[in-house]
Structure 1
């Protein structure tokens, strides 16, 4: 009888220990979830703000196309803007044709 009592008490202690460990894991995971939710909220706010900036830039670019460049550039924005309608900054440099043809080998017409 005494042996069975000791065994049951040992099992109860194990269950309590495992329960405490599970509680710690649950708290840890709940904190992680809360942190991830906060990061998600921050990312959503940043995406909304970026979307607003892009929409405003698109309106400025449309106005620049239809009404002239005074809408495209403010005093704050640099003249080398890479807006959607001003992609000249992304074009590769133009190589003069003379330098390209100088390196081409020509075959003679002699047969």
Structure 2
């Protein structure tokens, strides 16, 4: 029950942050969604890079809760469908490839910080 409460708490925080970032970065391109997806990928990559060196309650709070609510693939899908094709393809590629790159980099940073 405590784990569920931590996931809910982290999820609530992640959802609020995602909303605030999206509102602050309104524009012709969905910069808010890109920002939160890259930030979430980075934080989750770092947490995974730390391996088993974090308590499970912290992983539930930050990894499952915060990162799970902060990142938003469903919103990305809607935005890609609504953007003109000439903008949608680069935006989708930047989001997906950028997320993978950020996660890989921060995973390495997390792993290096415990060595």
TM-score (norm 2): 0.30
Structure ID, larger Rg: 1
TM-score (norm 1): 0.31
Which is richer in helix?
A: 2
